[in-house]
Amino acid sequence: MTGIRAGRGQSARPPDEVASARSTDLAGPSAAAGPAWDYAPAPESREIASIAAEYGLFIGGEFGPAADGRQFPTINPATEQPLARVALAGVADTDRAVAAARHAYEQVWAPMPGAERAKYLYRIARILQERAREFAVLESLDNGKPIKESRDVDVPLAAAHFFYHAGWADKLEYAGLGGASGAGGADGAGRGTAPRPLGVAGQVIPWNFPLLMAAWKLAPALATGNTCVLKPAETTPLTALLLAEVCQQADLPPGVVNVLTGAGETGSALVSHPGVNKIAFTGSTEVGKEISRAVAGTGKRLTLELGGKAANVVFDDAPVDQAVEGIVNGIFFNQGHVCCAGSRLLVQESVADIVVERLKERLATLRLGDPLDKNTDIGAINSREQLDKISALSAAGEAEGAQRWSPPCRLPERGYWFPPTLFTGVSQSYRIAREEIFGPVLSVLTFRTPEEAVTKANNTPYGLSAGVWTEKGSRILWMAQRLRAGVVWANTYNRFDPASPFGGYRESGFGREGGRHGLAAYLDA
Ligand code: NAD
């Protein structure tokens, strides 16, 4: 097979993509003598995603410019090439979007029977499936994530969220949430009193799963009869805007979904708008705290999905190869830009050496480079700012005394890249063990007893997720009872399902997304 290490290989892609973002296999210890075979280029064509030069705001079912005409660029992080210019929403646009959402809520959406609302959600889900390749390519271009992840995870899960919530739209009185009075009594058929929607939901999302986070926010809000004003992240607005186009295609009544593009200032205008009844935020703990302060005392309902510093705990009886796959998935999936990433590996001392050795061997086989290549495992870091943050925290890890290791690898010349990185000899007090890095960087710590594992795992202000690897079912249950995390995965990691509630506590936020619990966040019940 033809090798595609940086500097070689053929591709039909545009020159800017080829020059700077070719996949590179990471030659590690096991590959020191050269790989036995190599990969041929397998680029997904970008032709299917037609990107306009400019994008407007989506308000009242129409796309249009910002009132003051401001715009900002969105770029391809794998090449640093601009993709498009996008409208920057200000206060006047926020007023207009909230008014459109209010009108749609009162006149159309809340009065509509649940079974009718469901039809729109099913339609959106089906269109997402029909246009899946287009969404996957656009997501990889705007975000930098590997196409195999946008194609196999982000887009199918986004469609699944709409399908799942469509099923709830006409069954809300069976969700066990009680009625507006809080009585909550169920009749003989398991039916409680019908819970009421809250009104207009202001929803602010991050850049790591741009389409999927939009689906997590919109689907439950719409199923429960609320209308939405969505604010995507400034570095990844394109798939939310394509989703707005899908809403048009599905004939969703104007104003039910509105999309305001912009940065923190736009998000802040939406959060503090008096016409909004509910704020749903996913993003950093720092901004989450700011939003909490802005919303306090206003009577607005609030859910916060914030950061994490999850422990992935490997016991000595765990099947090592399986655990290594779980560790890799836990921290290197989506370049580690995952709130629930298993960024702290806690491994039992007696197997630490073998686990770290196998991990290094496995990391040497990962392929970093062109996000549109179907063989790529590690894509680009989403922005210069995020790359700087990852670099600074990694430098702090070295300065504090941890041993840093990455497989030898040549990074593409342009774009934002960071090699998969492993720190051993990490102490709990180091910044890399305490702060969210939100990048492909794993800190390895050891423990001797289950009690010590629990103490170390819980030694964080966050509480979003955790992983446990052991053959013993009883130990899984023992650990799950003690780990202070919203989600605990056993012998797997990063599994998501729309029926399963997701969320954290402490500095990881509050409220749940998905499942019956996620519905409660949008209902007066
Ligand atoms: P961020 O907090 O900087 O930005 C998130 C969103 O908030 C963006 O749309 C941004 O424009 C907007 N924003 C910024 N300042 C604002 C303000 N003052 N008022 C209102 N909106 C504002 O976070 P990020 O860097 O985009 O995302 C990474 C963070 O998100 C990580 O900490 C990660 O853990 C977290 N995250 C959490 C979950 C979860 O479910 N818990 C999921 C994904 C990401």
Evaluate whether 462 touches 468 at the Cβ level (below 8 Å). no
Catalytic residue of the set 149, 305, 507, 513: 305
What is the average pLDDT across 310-325?
97
Whether the per-residue pLDDT at 187 is higher than 90: the answer is: no
- Band the pLDDT of 320: cuts 50, 70, 90: very high
- pLDDT, greater one: 14 or 115: 115
Least confident of 44-53, 180-189, 417-426: 180-189
**Dist. CA 504–CA 509, nearest whole Å:** 5
CB of 206 within 6 A of ligand 1: the answer is yes
Residue closest to 78 by CA, chosen among 117, 44, 32: 44
CB of 464 within 6 A of ligand 1: the answer is yes
- Band the pLDDT of 18: cuts 50, 70, 90: very low
**Dist. CA 316–CA 324, nearest whole Å:** 13
Does residue 340 carry a catalytic annotation? no
What is the average pLDDT across 99-116?
98
- pLDDT value, residue 208: 98
- pLDDT value, residue 37: 75
**Dist. CA 518–CA 513, nearest whole Å:** 4
Whether the per-residue pLDDT at 464 is higher than 90: the answer is: yes
Residue closest to 88 by CA, chosen among 121, 66, 104, 67: 66
Q: Return mean pLDDT, the chain.
A: 92
Does residue 305 carry a catalytic annotation? yes
Give, using CA atoms, the residue closest to atom 43 of ligand 1: 339
Residue closest to 233 by CA, chosen among 255, 250, 217, 248: 217
3-state secondary structure 143-176: HCCCHHHHHHHHHHHHHHHHHHHHHHCCCHHHCC
CA dihedral over 196, 198, 199, 201, signed as positive or negative = negative
- pLDDT value, residue 194: 81
For the chain, give the percent of residues with pLDDT over 70: 90
CA distances for 50 relative to 42, 47, 77, 195, angstroms: 20, 7, 18, 42
CA distances for 356 relative to 323, 328, 360, 432, angstroms: 11, 11, 6, 17
- Which residues are within 8 A (CB) of 474 and not within 5 positions of it... i.e. 6 or more apart? none
- pLDDT value, residue 185: 52
Whether the per-residue pLDDT at 322 is higher than 90: the answer is: yes
- Band the pLDDT of 190: cuts 50, 70, 90: low
- Put simply, whether the predicted model's pTM sits higher than 0.85 gets the answer yes
What is the average pLDDT across 461-489?
97
What is the average pLDDT across 231-247?
98
The two tokens of residue 26 are 């990471």
- Band the pLDDT of 96: cuts 50, 70, 90: very high
The two tokens of residue 326 are 């779980």
CB of 507 within 6 A of ligand 1: the answer is no
Ligand 1 centroid distance, CA of 168 (Å): 28
What is the average pLDDT across 268-277?
98
What is the average pLDDT across 225-232?
98
Index of the ligand 1 atom closest to the CA of residue 283: 30
- pLDDT value, residue 245: 98
Phi, psi (rounded to 5 degrees) for 455: -60, -45
CB of 487 within 6 A of ligand 1: the answer is no
Ligand 1 centroid distance, CA of 282 (Å): 5
Whether the per-residue pLDDT at 236 is higher than 70: the answer is: yes
Residue closest to 274 by CA, chosen among 290, 253, 297: 297
Residue closest to 25 by CA, chosen among 11, 36, 10, 12: 36
What SS3 class is residue 342?
coil
pLDDT tens readout for residues 409-457? 889 999 999 999 999 999 999 999 999 999 999 999 999 999 999 999 9
Ligand 1 centroid distance, CA of 266 (Å): 13
Catalytic residue of the set 339, 409, 436, 513: 339
Whether the per-residue pLDDT at 386 is higher than 90: the answer is: yes
- pLDDT value, residue 19: 37
Sheet strands (E) in 41-145? 54-55, 57-59, 62-64, 71-76, 81-87
CB of 420 within 6 A of ligand 1: the answer is no
**Dist. CA 248–CA 447, nearest whole Å:** 54
CB of 463 within 6 A of ligand 1: the answer is no
CA distances for 454 relative to 315, 348, 422, 424, angstroms: 12, 12, 22, 19
- Band the pLDDT of 14: cuts 50, 70, 90: very low
CA distances for 195 relative to 93, 115, 117, angstroms: 31, 15, 15
pLDDT tens readout for residues 330-360? 999 999 999 999 999 999 999 999 999 999 9
- pLDDT value, residue 17: 41
Candidate from 72, 143, 208, 384 with most ligand 1 atoms within 8 A of CB, to mutate? 208
**Phi/psi-derived region of residue 264, left when phi > 0, alpha when psi is between -120 and 50, beta in every other case:** alpha
What is the average pLDDT across 259-264?
98
- Band the pLDDT of 383: cuts 50, 70, 90: very high
- Band the pLDDT of 27: cuts 50, 70, 90: very low
Q: Count the neighbouring beta carbons within 10 Å of the beta carbon of residue 107.
A: 12
pLDDT tens readout for residues 70-89? 999 999 999 999 999 999 99
